[in-house]
Structure 1
């Protein structure tokens, strides 16, 4: 009996040791891929956006060129298969037989970069999530000992990828838990802690800076009612984003000739970018601009209409980008919408009600609240946005706004773009 117990103990030790080793490998590869994606996208997006600002004709040329290249790559290089985004990860982690094929790594990586740098109004986050999830999926297939750890290894890849993009290991683990795994096992804890530690270590070695440089010093208790208001508005805006994505995808699916989708999508995208250049790509450049601008800008009719126009058009151009073949998701659009919503709410309250609230605080809280409501993952949104700014001063207002926005959104519409299943 003792001998049997010893054999089992040795076998478990070997399994744990192999799990640790593969988690280190997944963490490094996923983080390296995530950082590379972020750096390449930032560099070329800035380059092409600058050229489009100098010559507005490029607002017409870039979207049709980018979507066309993605289409031909899918047709002739990536087995003529559409990318389904995070739903692919759900399908794989919930199935014993369905795995993420290795070509998903270059497919999502290349298509995600091309979508954003040529003006597609989305972000590389979902492309990174699927590509890094595929790293975990491929690893689990390599040895029989990993067969039972499929979901855990997929989550390890995802957690490391999110950590690399947003400099927040906690957000990486929470996203893997809240959105993908939804359960905690011993293997999940071991693999994900190791993967995000490797990813965060790589960020430290490369001296990666937070995405947004923000100075946040304080917040006031008298602003709590306005945080609640912002949370409710964020929930409503997130539902508008979700419904827009689902609506345009269903409408574009009725168009049989794919190149007609590209032409129609490019027309809508080009016109929108020409009117509001802030909608180009991820939109982080626009967020940085309004964060760095003097926050006490008086709200004029023109400025108010501009903010309203951006908030109205962003979900539409994001939806059209995805429906016409672009690769991406709702992470970056949610952060973008939240920043502009927060600034608009703060400007209206300060201009018409003399509330004297701090606009940059509302921008940061708005980013977290809209993201929370869009993906129904408040804890992920809280730590992700705090990681983005490397500042936890607003932790409690963000916490309140994120839960309010999530439950507001769920009351209006229970699905996200990830959980919606079309009726047949």
Structure 2
């Protein structure tokens, strides 16, 4: 009997495996199973990634910090660490052709490549990111962790020959698992994947995405103490519906929106300046890395730890901090501008005005048992001087790290900027009008969500990731308001988020959902009508109506001048508006009612770009022109109805 069982198991497994490979298993359950496997593997992969960069950090940055207590050469080594590390990463990237950043490349793979990601590229990119973070590069771990999950999912989907639609969903599930493992935030991982990676909340995609995110979080909770656990416990802020406090949160949202704009522009401006300064990659890497090292080590010399009033208190805090971290398995505090900077974020979140009472729900808790940092007025001023340089220097260091050829995520720097900016803003509010505001830590918490929303344009992701990081639901209303305001401010400046902007700069026009994916591959010339009626600008309303009735399938009529050049279009609503008046139709000419200078499209544009043009002017017909300037020639019309019909045909043929 035992021998039969031993024989049956391999045969059964082989039978199932062959059916999976041949595609005879239904696609939906197979996608769910592969998403579950990808979620588990991503959880363990993220822990290994955290191990790797923490080991590198111990061997470099933390060792140099300890060395600096005995000799000036420790500070020299601390300053040189990012330069040498970024130089290595830049060489590694160039040698193995690892161009591109993690999250933008995942977005591109979903939108352009049907979810196909090169396994070797992913592994090499993850390794280079670990080195960059470990040696002091001012970047975060979430990008590589998203890449870990997406590449595992992509490899599994390709192996089992999933359709392009299911493969894209599976890659999005891997990305959700990466965010879930990076921040212990499964809900935020799901929303991030749908909002940023897919750009769609299609019901059929949710099940595998949710399962992958949940299982990655389970693995992280089991072994997270050995990896990166960035949850910030014991947050005690609360918003009780006080109208007086609300304007201060909304103003913070506006400030964070402008800070997000500045951060994104600085990031890409630094990259452009570095490339324009010298074509030699190794000089760029050394120069940018040296600047990161000088700024990071210099700030560490001035502020090795958050400020305290007396040297004795500072020594006591350092001793207790070291003891606490030793007990919890964490490492001693390094330079605030190096690496992910979660120590600084956590400290900012716990800033409390000593003159304000603890929230009602925490009044019975012993403050000594929490991580709350009560501040007197003098201590708030000292912390303000500590925070303001961080607000300015962190975006600079992140921009220099990536501009010099480093690798890593920008989500953690966004959290850092939001926490420090919000904390500083909260301190200013408490110094000026303490009765009209909350404690500084509350504004640090709100600022995190607002800056993330401003940089990523992912409002739901920002709100949920801050909630899951802190477990603090009691201040969710200000976070929601500030995040929405920040996102709107940033969107009006640039509709592209920090990820899609990198792709747009390289000439990539990315569809933001499965439902638009097919539109990128159809040209305007394939859909436009080439025989169409026109009217002269001097034609009166009677003549225009006659042409419109003879061509009922044309919704808008092109208006031509005496040189047969397009000057406008007449829409149905333009005709109806003038027909409802008492003006004689013989006194109304075409150029009196036409929409002048209409948007025209090129026959070489794709339908995705054309759909954006339809929306920007709220028209149903777009002229198609060739040539430039005065030599432009109208060759066709593109109808919205034809575009949607052709797009639906393409989608049916794909799926």
State TM-score, norm by structure 2. 0.59
Counterparts of 1:21-60 in structure 2, within 5 Å, are 21-42=33-54, 44-45=56-57, 48-53=60-65, 54=68, 55-60=74-79
* C-alpha spacing 1:297/1:418, structure 2 compared with 1 (3 Å): farther
Partner residue in 2 for 1:8: none
* C-alpha spacing 1:22/1:125, structure 2 compared with 1 (3 Å): same
Question: SS state of the match for residue 452, structure 2?
Answer: helix
Question: SS state of the match for residue 279, structure 1?
Answer: coil
**2:114–2:168 Cα contact (<8 Å) kept:** no
- Distance apart, 1:419 and its partner CA: 1.9
**1:108–1:131 Cα contact (<8 Å) kept:** no
Partner residue in 2 for 1:7: none
- Distance apart, 1:246 and its partner CA: 1.0
**1:140–1:147 Cα contact (<8 Å) kept:** no
- Distance apart, 1:217 and its partner CA: 4.7
* C-alpha spacing 1:207/1:100, structure 2 compared with 1 (3 Å): closer
Which one is further off, 116-125 or 204-213? 204-213
* C-alpha spacing 1:47/1:369, structure 2 compared with 1 (3 Å): farther
In the alignment, structure 1 residue 279 sits paired with structure 2 residue 337: yes
Question: SS state of the match for residue 145, structure 1?
Answer: coil
- Output the CA distance in 1 between the equivalents of 2:432 and 2:398: 32
Which one is further off, 33-42 or 341-350? 33-42
Superposed CA offset, 1:98-134 (max 9, x none): 7310013322221111111111111111122123212
- Output the CA distance in 1 between the equivalents of 2:127 and 2:184: 22
Q: Which runs of 5+ in 2 are unaligned?
A: 1-22, 69-73, 301-335, 351-370, 508-655
* C-alpha spacing 1:195/1:360, structure 2 compared with 1 (3 Å): same
* C-alpha spacing 1:57/1:416, structure 2 compared with 1 (3 Å): same
Counterparts of 1:291-370 in structure 2, within 5 Å, are 291=350, 292=371, 294-298=373-377, 303-355=383-435, 357-370=438-451
- Output the CA distance in 2 between the equivalents of 1:398 and 1:369: 7
State TM-score, norm by structure 1. 0.90
Partner residue in 1 for 2:232: 212
- Output the CA distance in 1 between the equivalents of 2:285 and 2:339: 17
- Output the CA distance in 2 between the equivalents of 1:207 and 1:275: 32
The structure in which a higher percent of residues are strand is 2
Superposed CA offset, 1:301-358 (max 9, x none): 6653442222112111101100111112320111111111111111111112233521
Q: 1:19 aligns with which of 20, 25, 31?
A: 31
Which one is further off, 191-200 or 340-349? 191-200
The structure in which a higher percent of residues are helix is 1
Partner residue in 2 for 1:104: 121
In the alignment, structure 1 residue 380 sits paired with structure 2 residue 392: no
- Distance apart, 1:75 and its partner CA: 4.0
Q: 2:87 aligns with which of 55, 60, 68?
A: 68
* C-alpha spacing 1:415/1:75, structure 2 compared with 1 (3 Å): closer
Number of corresponding residues: 412
Partner residue in 2 for 1:179: 196
- Output the CA distance in 2 between the equivalents of 1:256 and 1:297: 52
Moved over 4 A (4+): 207-210, 299-303
Which one is further off, 168-177 or 15-24? 15-24
- Distance apart, 1:371 and its partner CA: 0.7
Superposed CA offset, 1:5-52 (max 9, x none): xxxxxx997222312221111111122212332344346536644334
* C-alpha spacing 1:298/1:117, structure 2 compared with 1 (3 Å): farther
Counterparts of 1:157-196 in structure 2, within 5 Å, are 157-196=174-213
Partner residue in 2 for 1:6: none
What's the Cα RMSD here? Answer: 2.3
- Output the CA distance in 2 between the equivalents of 1:323 and 1:363: 28
Question: SS state of the match for residue 184, structure 1?
Answer: coil
- Distance apart, 1:183 and its partner CA: 1.6
Q: Which has the higher contact order (CA 8 A, sep 6+)?
A: 1
- Output the CA distance in 2 between the equivalents of 1:393 and 1:301: 27
- Output the CA distance in 2 between the equivalents of 1:191 and 1:133: 13
- Distance apart, 1:403 and its partner CA: 0.6
Q: Which runs of 5+ in 1 are unaligned?
A: 1-10
- Output the CA distance in 1 between the equivalents of 2:221 and 2:411: 24
